[in-house]
Amino acid sequence: MAEPIRNKRLDPATAPTPQNTPLQNAPISSHAQQPGVASIKEEDFDRAAAASIFAQNPKLVQMIQGRLGSLVGRSSGYIESLPPQVRRRVAGLKGIQKEHSKLEAEFQEEVLQLEKKYFAKFTPLYEKRAKIVNGGSEPSEEEIKAGEEDDEEEDETEDAEKADKADKPAESSEPVSGIPEFWLSAMKNQISLAEMITDRDEAALKHLVDIRMEYLDKPGFRLIFEFAENEFFTNKTITKTYFYQNESGYGGDFIYDHAEGDKIEWKEGKDLTVRIESKKQRNKNTKQTRIVKKTDDTGKPKQEAAECKQS
């Protein structure tokens, strides 16, 4: 198995957006800037846990809803306590802030258009990268030289380690095509993604051959994960689409609304989102045995399926 590619220049952990992770065909540079669009943070597991707690405590839900409902639209009374002339000034400041928000919205829209413009310029580079990663072509001498010059910027200790490894190349009985497990290595070198990848996930992610991104006509973007033939599912591509709200948030930022993903067509017994435990049970009266299968789905109740067999 090929050794994972390690990137020692880890960026700070950030949530996925089109500008800072492999979600947009992963910037080739390791010095990607912070995204211009507000970061997206999905908390499916936390939501599932909260939903479970609320489902078991309906009175708690009712109490919280009642208290929150009584607070909606209620003033703290501070503004009303101010002298009339001061309240007018505060109202004036709100008017100025509205103008500021309009300009911020225009700014964010122009930033988005600029990102789209340069994304079109980045795309040929991403396509070239995909060919090299998957063995469709080789990098040019100029590209190799530029990459080696970038490596020389690292400190002497790192250079010494690389030199030591270079003297002991990995032995392979067969020629290696492209860069094996490139995307899995890239994801594991991104802190926030690495924390979510389990050993079970790795088995499927080894078959990931490309990650692409495309903008939507409406505010949002789509991620496209392309897989080689594998033992886990039949999908050739799996997409996940992120939608922003039509109205901008405070400061003109886009507000994350929701995400929609493709249904994964799992092959029989290969669903990585569940664990199946089998146990044999015998009926004391009929002497029949049955196999009880318990499916443990993360964050969801267990389901049982029994298959009776004659002893």
What are 9-48's pLDDT values in tens digits? 444 443 445 554 444 444 444 444 444 444 555 555 566 6
Return the higher-pLDDT residue of 308 and 100.
100
- pTM higher than 0.85 for the full model? no
Residue 7 pairs in a beta bridge with none
Beta carbons within 8 Å of 274's beta carbon, 6+ residues apart: 295, 296, 297, 298
Cα–Cα dist 109/28, whole Å: 25
What are 108-144's pLDDT values in tens digits? 889 999 999 999 999 999 999 999 999 999 999 999 9
Indicate if the pLDDT at residue 171 is higher than 70.
Answer: no
Return the higher-pLDDT residue of 175 and 304.
175
What percent of the chain lies above the pLDDT cut of 70? 64
pLDDT of 111: 92
Count of helix runs (H) and strand runs (E) in the chain: 8, 7
Q: Is 15 exposed, middle or buried (0-12, 13-18, 19+ CB in 10 A)?
A: middle
Average pLDDT over residues 230-240: 97
Cα–Cα dist 282/306, whole Å: 12
Half-sphere exposure of 83 (CA within 13 A, CB side): 2
The mean predicted confidence, pLDDT, of the chain is 77
Q: Which of 308, 122, 78, 77 is nearest to 214 (CA)?
A: 122
pLDDT of 76: 79
pLDDT of 18: 58
Of 129-133, 170-174, 202-206, 301-305, the range with the lowest mean pLDDT is: 301-305
Average pLDDT over residues 64-81: 76
Return the higher-pLDDT residue of 212 and 165.
212
Size (the chain), residues = 311
Indicate if the pLDDT at residue 299 is higher than 50.
Answer: no
Q: Taking CA 20 as the corner, what is the angle to CA 16 and CA 25, rounded to the nearest 5 degrees?
A: 90
pLDDT of 227: 98
